[in-house]
Each structure stands twice: as C-alpha cells, then as structure tokens.
Chains A and B, each alone.
Chain A
Amino acid sequence: MDNQDIEIKVLMEAVHLKHGYDFRQYAGASLTRRVKKCLADTGLNNISDMIPLVIHDKAFFNSFLHNLSVNVTEMFRDPQFFLSLREKIVPYLKTFPFIKVWSVGVSTGEEVYSLVIVLKEEGLYEKSLIYATDFNDSVLESAQKGIYSIDNIKTSTLNYQKSGGKKSFGTYYHADYNSVIIDRSLKKNIVFANHNLATDSVFGEMNLILCRNVLIYFNKDLQERVLELFKNSLRAYGFLCLGSKETINFSGIVDSFVPIVKKQKIFQKKVNPAFEGVK
C-alpha cells in the first residue's frame, strides 16, 4: 500500500469514528480524486493533514463532506428511463390503492421532482408517499427547498418533453430572477430524510425504488449489501430502477428479480421462481 492509500484509509477511519459516515467501502479511484480535490482547496500538503481538521473543525468537516459526495444531477436525466417508467411501470402501480416510493441518493432533488411530475400527470401522486433520502444533510436541505439555477431549465424542458411529458414544463416551477423554484404542490407528499446506505437498514415496504448512479461509487461488497437492502425493502412485485450502467446480474439478488425493461435497468421482485414479470 502506498502512502496516499494509507493516508486515505486513516482519514476515512477518522471520519467514521468521529462522525459515523462510512466511506470505507467506496470505490477507491473516484474517492481518491475527490479527496485530492478537497486537499487542493485547503492548501495543505498531505492528505493526512486533514485528519485533525475533520476531527476538530466542524465547519471544515461540513464542507469536506459536501465535497466528498457526488451531487451531479439534472431533471429527467435519461429521458428514456422516465418514458419507460411512465409506459411500463405506472399502469401496474395504478392497480394499487396506495403506493410507497423510495428515491435513494436524492442529492439536490432533481430526480425526485422528475419522478413526482410523472406520478402527478398519471394521476398517481395523490395516493403516493415518497421517501427521498440522502446521507448528506446539506444536500437534503437544498432538495427540500427545490431552488435551481435558471441556466438548466432549457435542458430540463427538453428532457421533460423527451420523457413523454404531457404538459408545459413551465407549470411546475416559478421563475424569479436567475432561479426557479419548484411548485409547492409537488412537495407535499415527499418526506425528505437522512438515510445512509452504508450503515442504515430497511425502513419500509416499497412499491418502487429509484437508485440511479449511486451504486457505481461503491465497491462490490457495499453494492451487494445495498442490493440486498433494496430487495428487503420492496414488497412482492415491487420495482427496482438502477442507473443505465448498473446491474444486478453479478449479485446475489439476481434470482429474486425479473428484468422488465432491460435497457433502462428496471427490475421487478418476484415471489416464486416461475414468475415472469408484468408484461
């Protein structure tokens, strides 16, 4: 193990012991890049110089934590996914009197608001409860506020249209100078809460779980833990949606699911081995 790896390992151990956040099973290459970025901001020489700061300096730790988590997202990211959700999954969800949805790694909220817009247009929102979770309180706060730069609205609108959107996207936000704020009606059935995939466990039985582009940041062991957690958090015939480059194929849960939309990585939990999924 080279010096840099030792320093990162000890730093992450300190973060875990002091604050409870567990990055010890994150994929190393990406984590190393982000830790180095944090180091560059401090002007310190060595990664290990940040250890006293994460222990003693609360303000430093908060910004450190913010920089360690990946908060790159957009509204209706991968429009084709939302189109599949609307066309293939929503009709099935409509057969329930009430549905529970978990949007995992919600970051600054764009993903969960996109999901809520689909549910609303399909007449499902009034009977839905959506848990939107992240391990990072500061991004949860941003998500809850739902205020975004107006610069991204053009992309969002285009994505929305490609995703099978039925209205004018402008009905979902209010513009104010250089920002837009998400319409209040989209927020009322969302519960924003802190949940850490590395350390926390099952908290409910869901009909639908969205966790896109989160697993790629974990190593194999943590991916396995999280997929097992998702399996146990879904009711029978519930749906799991992963990022376009993520899969359950090499995991222990593969036999418990049926791929419903292969390309969009939408899987359905089965209860008996012969079940072939909704068609």
Chain B
Amino acid sequence: MKYDFHVLVIGVSAGGFRALHTILPMFPKDFSCPVIIVQHRMATDENFFVESLNSKCNMGVKEAEDKEQIEAGKIYIAPGGYHLLVEKNHILSLSVDEPVSYARPSVDVLFETAAQAFGAHLIGIILTGANCDGSEGIKNIKANKGLTIAQDPDTAEASMMPVSAIATGCVDFVLLLEDIPSFIIGLVEDHHGEC
C-alpha cells in the first residue's frame, strides 16, 4: 500500500486539557494529516472535552467511532472507558479489553496498533502526564521506523510521561509544547514536496 500522507498520534494524561487546547488550534484547517489522540479521562466524562476542542480548532474534532475510516484533516479523540486501536486497513476500532498500565484508553495500545498500520508514516508525540503510559508505544513506533517526539519535560505540567518516554532512548526530538505544531507542519510539507 502506498501512502502520500503522515498520521499523527498523540498520548497525553494529566495536564492534557491545557496542552491540547494550546497546540491543536495551531494546525490549519487544511492540514492534511489525520490526528488520533488518547487523553486519559473518566469513562463517565461527557462530550464536553471534545466539544470544547472542536470549538477552538480549525480542524474538525470528533470522538472516534468503532470501524470509522480515518480521514485526512480530522482529529479523533478516544472515548472514555474504551481502548482505541488502528486496523491495518486504516479503520479505527474500539475495545473494552483490560486496562493497560491502569489506563483505558491506553496510549500504548493506540501507538502499538498505529505503528503496525502506518509504519514509517507515523509520527508519535508524548505530552504531559503523571504516569508511564506511552513509553512502550514509543518503542513500537521507533521499531516500525516512525518518528517520535516528546514534550520538553521541564515545561510539561506533569513531567513523568515525557521523562519516561525519553528514557526509552527511542525519542527523536524533545520540543517545547508551543513549537510542536510548526515543527510537524514543516515536516509534513517537506514530505509532500518530495512526492
């Protein structure tokens, strides 16, 4: 299969509400990558989180649905209480498998399955969070030749998640939160230039 696009996956926990509200509105409306996000949150959480992001972003933000085709220019958020997985044919799946590292949705589950589906076309980002979820996923992305980024832990509301990801030795770039969107936009545009 041939891709002419990148896919972005983001894992974030404590402090995520502010971090996502900072970076996601910085992507333009016509940004060509799909963005798939696991933010740890309560299963009972109503749609407030998704609606709030959607009102602030240029790209469309929605809660991921089971067996939904991943489309360019959309931001998908994992529903509370479900794991979000990527199928090889670029469809999203949900599951209620056991929590991984006490988390459901789990960043590791999203990253691992996305790495297998998108290989070198995947960009994985770990943002603020107070646990180690996502570190295994970062290793998976690297093993499948994807690109990995962590938020600079000194500027993260909770540093443990980026620190843990960086400690795997599989993170390519450590960036300030505010610099992440322009870095990725530059990267994706360069890639399209080559196509």
Taken together as a complex, chains A and B put the C-alpha atoms of A216 and B113 apart, in Å, by 16
Q: Are A33 and B109 also in contact (CB < 8 A) when A70-B95, A70-B96, A216-B93 are?
A: yes
Q: Nearest Cβ in chain A — how far from B110, in angstroms? A: 10
Q: How many residues from B make CB contacts under 8 Å with A?
A: 21
Q: Is the CB of A217 within 8 A of B95?
A: yes
Residue numbers in B under 8 Å from A28 (CB-CB): 87-88
Q: Is the CB of A70 within 8 A of B93?
A: no
Q: Are A245 and B66 also in contact (CB < 8 A) when A5-B88, A216-B94 are?
A: yes
Residue numbers in A under 8 Å from B112 (CB-CB): 33
Residue numbers in B under 8 Å from A217 (CB-CB): 95
Q: Is the CB of B113 within 8 A of A33?
A: yes
Q: Nearest Cβ in chain A — how far from B188, in angstroms? A: 25
Q: Are A29 and B87 also in contact (CB < 8 A) when A216-B93, A245-B65 are?
A: yes
Q: Nearest Cβ in chain B — how far from A223, in angstroms? A: 7
Taken together as a complex, chains A and B put the C-alpha atoms of A29 and B79 apart, in Å, by 17
- Quick check: is B86 within 8 A (CB to CB) of the other chain? yes
Taken together as a complex, chains A and B put the C-alpha atoms of A223 and B65 apart, in Å, by 14
- Quick check: is B4 within 8 A (CB to CB) of the other chain? no
Residue numbers in A under 8 Å from B116 (CB-CB): 29, 32
Residue numbers in A under 8 Å from B94 (CB-CB): 216, 245
Q: Is the CB of A30 within 8 A of B93?
A: yes
User: Per-position contact with B for A22-45: 1 when CB-CB < 8 Å, else 0?
Assistant: 000001111011100000000000
Residue numbers in A under 8 Å from B113 (CB-CB): 29, 32-33
Taken together as a complex, chains A and B put the C-alpha atoms of A217 and B66 apart, in Å, by 9
Within 8 A of A (CB), among B69-98: 79, 82-83, 85-88, 93-98
Q: Please pick, from A30, A247, A250, the residue contacting B95 in the complex, using a CB distance under 8 A.
A: A30
Residue numbers in B under 8 Å from A5 (CB-CB): 88
Residue numbers in B under 8 Å from A274 (CB-CB): none
Residue numbers in B under 8 Å from A161 (CB-CB): none
Q: Please pick, from B79, B85, B117, the residue contacting A30 in the complex, using a CB distance under 8 A.
A: B85
Which residues of B does A touch, CB under 8 Å? 65-67, 79, 82-83, 85-88, 93-98, 109, 112-113, 116-117
Task: Give the top 9 A-B pairs by smallest Cβ distance, nearest first.
Answer: A29-B85, A29-B113, A27-B93, A30-B95, A216-B94, A213-B96, A216-B66, A29-B87, A245-B94
Which residues of A does B touch, CB under 8 Å? 5, 27-30, 32-34, 70, 72, 213, 215-217, 219-220, 223, 243, 245-247, 250
List 6 additional A-B contacts (Cβ < 8 Å) besides A29-B87, A29-B116, A30-B85.
A5-B88, A29-B93, A32-B116, A70-B96, A216-B95, A243-B96
